[in-house]
Structure 1
Amino acid sequence: MLWKLLIAINIFATVYAAVLQEVFKWRDVGFAWPSEEIKREALQNQDYIPANNLPLGLARWRNRLFVTVPRWKAGVASSLNYIPLNTSDSSPALIPYPSLKANSLPKNGETLEDNHIISTFRIEVDACDRLWVMDTGLADILGSAEQYSKPALVVFDLNTDRLLRRYEFKPSDLKESSFLANVVVDVQHDRCDEAFAYIPDLGGYAIVVYSWKNNESWRVNHNYFHFDPLNGDLTVGGINFQWKDGIFGLALSRVMRKGYRTLYFHPLVSTHEFSVSTEVLRNQTLASDPNSYNLYKIEGNRGVATQASSSNLDLQTEVLFLTQLQKDGIACWNTNKPLNPDNVGIVAQDREALVFPNDLKIDAERNLWVLSDRMPVFLFHTLNKNEYNYRIFRIKVDDAIANTPCVL
Structure 2
Amino acid sequence: MKYIKFLLILLFAVCIQNSFSSKLEEKFRWKEVSYAWPSDSAMDEAIKSGRYQPENNLPLGLEVWKDKLFITVPRWKSGVASSLNYINIDSKDSSPLLIPYPSWTANSLESDGFTTETTGGRMSAPKPTILDGQLTDNSSIISTFRIRVDECDRLWVMDTGLADILGSNPKQIAQPALVIFDLNTNKLIKRYTIPPEHIKDDTFFANVIVDVPKNGCDNAYAYIPDLGAYATVVYSFKSDRSWRVRHNFFYFDPINGDYNVGGVNFQWKDGIFALALGEQTDQGTRTVYFHALSSTKEFSVPNYILQNETRALSAESYFDYSLVGDRGLNGQSTSEFFDEKTKVLVYTQVNKDGIGCWNSQKPYTPDNQGILDSDSDALVFPNDLKIDRNGNVWVLSDRLPIFIYKKLNPNEYNYRILTGKVGNLILGTPCE
TM bucket, shorter chain: over 0.9
Residue 17 of structure 1: CA displacement?
7.8
Q: 1:231 to 1:248 in 2, by over 3 A?
A: same
Given that 1:60 and 1:125 are in contact with CA atoms closer than 8 Å, whether structure 2 keeps it comes out as yes
Given that 2:213 and 2:284 are in contact with CA atoms closer than 8 Å, whether structure 1 keeps it comes out as no
Superposed, 1:194-233 pairs within 5 Å as 194-233=219-258
Matched, 1:38 2:33: no
| Number of the residue aligned with 2:137 | 113
Q: Secondary structure of 2:202's partner? A: coil
Q: Secondary structure of 1:259's partner? A: coil
Deviation track 1:272-305 (CA, whole Å, cap 9, x = no partner) reads 0000001110000000111110110000110000
| Number of the residue aligned with 2:12 | none
| Number of the residue aligned with 1:68 | 72
Backbone CA RMSD of aligned residues: 1.3
Distance (whole Å) between structure 1 residues aligned to residue 362 and residue 353 of structure 2: 24
Q: How many residues align?
A: 393
Distance (whole Å) between structure 1 residues aligned to residue 136 and residue 41 of structure 2: 24
Distance (whole Å) between structure 2 residues aligned to residue 283 and residue 305 of structure 1: 35
Letter in 1 for 2:137: E
Distance (whole Å) between structure 2 residues aligned to residue 308 and residue 85 of structure 1: 26
Q: Secondary structure of 2:367's partner? A: helix
Please list every run of 5 or more consecutive structure 1 residues that lacks an aligned counterpart in the other structure: 1-14
Given that 1:17 and 1:349 are in contact with CA atoms closer than 8 Å, whether structure 2 keeps it comes out as no
| Number of the residue aligned with 1:140 | 164
Distance (whole Å) between structure 2 residues aligned to residue 129 and residue 37 of structure 1: 35
Q: Secondary structure of 1:336's partner? A: coil
Q: Select the residue among 323, 327, 332 that pairs with 2:348.
A: 323
Distance (whole Å) between structure 1 residues aligned to residue 252 and residue 357 of structure 2: 21
Deviation track 1:98-138 (CA, whole Å, cap 9, x = no partner) reads 01110011366374310000000000010000000000000
Letter in 2 for 1:300: G
| Number of the residue aligned with 1:6 | none
Given that 2:135 and 2:174 are in contact with CA atoms closer than 8 Å, whether structure 1 keeps it comes out as no
Distance (whole Å) between structure 2 residues aligned to residue 111 and residue 131 of structure 1: 20
Q: Pick the structure with greater CA Rg.
A: 2
Matched, 1:384 2:406: no
Superposed, 1:89-168 pairs within 5 Å as 89-106=93-110, 109=132, 111-143=135-167, 144-168=169-193
Letter in 2 for 1:148: I
| Number of the residue aligned with 1:80 | 84
| Number of the residue aligned with 2:54 | 50
Q: 1:294 to 1:353 in 2, by over 3 A?
A: same
TM-score scaled by length of structure 1: 0.94
Letter in 2 for 1:359: D
Deviation track 1:39-89 (CA, whole Å, cap 9, x = no partner) reads 111101110000000000000000000000000000000000000112110
Matched, 1:278 2:300: no
Q: 1:382 to 1:130 in 2, by over 3 A?
A: same
Distance (whole Å) between structure 2 residues aligned to residue 367 and residue 213 of structure 1: 31
| Number of the residue aligned with 2:127 | none
Matched, 1:370 2:374: no
Letter in 1 for 2:221: F
Q: Secondary structure of 2:204's partner? A: coil
Given that 1:127 and 1:188 are in contact with CA atoms closer than 8 Å, whether structure 2 keeps it comes out as no
